[in-house]
Amino acid sequence: MTLPPETVPAAGQWDAAVAAVRALGGDAEIQLVCHVSPDGDALGSMLGFGLGLRRLGYTRVRATFPGKFTVPTPYAELPGVDLLVPEADAYPAPALVLVFDVAGESRLGGLAARVAAAPVSVVLDHHASNTGFGTIRLVDPRAAATSVLAEQFVARLGVPLDAEIAECFYVALATDTGSFKFDMTTVAVHELAARLIATGLRPGDISRRIFDSRPFGAMKLTGEVLGRAVLEPAAAGGRGLVWTYATLADLARHDQPPYVLDTLIDPVRSVAEADVSVLVRQVAEREWAVSLRSKGAVDVSRLAVSQGGGGHRLAAGFTGFGEPRDVVDIVRRLLDDFLN
């Protein structure tokens, strides 16, 4: 996708977003929302922005996400976590809603209606598959993370970066760029990282906490799930497919919460013999969260969108049904369709 820089976000959207915040009194209710099963970018961009609102003197700011109120341990000590409330405690009728890292309303669960009913909803996102919801749209598919947009927004509101806000945005940027490894890792990304680190962050400490620390049970679980991976060199038009799955019983056996599987696609996608990798994670009886990755040959977001999901060209996901084999059958068939 090549768009002239001035069109993303569309002209006037930044001004509208800044005006929407400035129009509010200091005691207005502001609700921040990110996607279900939040990751580092969802939480980091949302909490960093929430802290920015606090610095501006807004006293009634709450942050939430749909579904079970579990904050993954690596993010449990992010600055601003005290802004987080369970979905049930979100403001029923906030004056302003801001939505972070949400590609489409299906990722908002029970909060979708709240967002739709808000007098103003500002959407900050970077998914190519973003469905176009929200009244003010700060959506840039070329941004490496939603926190890139959140940081610009905070700056446009006149809030200076401090170490707390910077830590939130840094965690978001580091997670969504795969520790500054992915294609989106541009000069601008490193410049932003440099400005964030300059507030006094310790990247080594943050990385250890976010990426390099997990319970023994999670490590053992990873070993089992990787041990059952299947390589299909002929699939995806000969480019190769590798896949594995993890069930709720696997989690229970190792006494682990679902989020420990959030990054398990990374060792799977490292398999050299396969362009496409798939991790099928059980969500409920016959319901699975499907993670798709490509090394470049396949636009997996197209595949995900065709199944009601979304994402980026080389990293996407959707909800699948049946047994893991049924889900992989669908992926295999779609790959054949898309590559022919």
Q: What separation, in Å, do the N-terminal and C-terminal C-alpha atoms of the chain show?
A: 21
Contact 167, 78 (CB under 8 A): yes
Q: Which is nearer to ligand 5GP, 83 or 103 (CB)?
A: 103
Instruction: Tell me: does residue 315 bind ligand 5GP (CB under 6 A).
Output: yes
Q: Hey, what are 121's tokens?
A: 């909803």
Q: Measure the CA–CA gap between 61 and 27, rounded to whole angstroms.
A: 9
Axis crossing angle, helix 40-55 with helix 163-176, rounded to the nearest 10:
160
The correct pick among 72, 104, 134, 240 for binding ligand 5GP (CB under 6 A) is: 104
Q: Which residue number, 159 or 316, has a Cβ lying nearer to Mn ion?
A: 316
Contact window for ligand 5GP (CB under 6 A) among 46-54, 145-153, 234-242, 303-311 = 303-311
Q: Which is nearer to ligand 5GP, 50 or 311 (CB)?
A: 311
Give the Cα separation of 311 and 85 in Å (integer): 26
Among 8, 20, 46, 103, interactor with ligand 5GP by CB under 6 A: 103
The footprint of Mn ion (CB under 5 A) covers 41, 101, 146, 176
Tokens of 25: 């009194």
The answer to whether 123 and 104 have CB atoms below 8 angstroms apart is no
- Binding ligand 5GP (rule: CB under 6 A), the pick from 63, 318, 320, 335 is 318
Partner in contact with 319, chosen from Mn ion, ligand 5GP, none, beta carbon below 5 to 8 Å by kind: ligand 5GP
203, 197 Cβ separation under 8 angstroms: yes
C-alpha closest to that of 61 among 97, 113, 20, 14: 97
Using rule CB under 6 A, residue 309 touches ligand 5GP:
yes
Q: In the complex, which residue's CB is closest to ligand 5GP?
A: 317
Residue closer to ligand 5GP by CB (options 49, 100) is 100
- Judged by CB under 6 A, does residue 317 bind ligand 5GP? yes
Tokens, residue 44: 């980091």
Which of 291, 324, 327, 331 is the binder for ligand 5GP (CB under 6 A)? 291
- Interaction partner, residue 281 (ligand 5GP, Mn ion, none; CB < 5-8 Å by kind): none
CB nearer Mn ion, residue 75 or residue 91 = 75
Told to check if 107 binds ligand 5GP by CB under 6 A, we report yes
Among 72, 311, 320, 324, binds ligand 5GP (CB under 6 A): 311
Calculated CA dihedral for residues 21, 22, 27, 28, nearest 10 degrees:
-40
3-class DSSP state of 297: coil
Tell which one of 13, 70, 199, 319 touches ligand 5GP (CB under 6 A): 319
* Token pair for 204: 């080594």
Tell me which stretch binds ligand 5GP (CB under 6 A): 196-204, 212-220, 268-276, 314-322. Answer: 314-322
Kindly tell me which residue out of 239, 254, 269, 312 binds ligand 5GP, with binding defined by CB under 6 A: 312
Q: Evaluate whether 150 touches 139 at the Cβ level (below 8 Å).
A: no
Q: How far is the CB of 44 from ligand 5GP (least distance, A)?
A: 14
242 vs 315, which CB is nearer to Mn ion?
315
For Cα atoms 183, 187, 191, give the angle at the middle one, nearest 5 degrees.
Answer: 125
| CA nearest to 93, candidates 70, 69, 62 | 62
The two counts, helices (H) then strands (E), for the chain are: 12, 11
Contact set with ligand 5GP (CB under 6 A) = 103-104, 107, 127, 265, 291, 309-312, 315-319
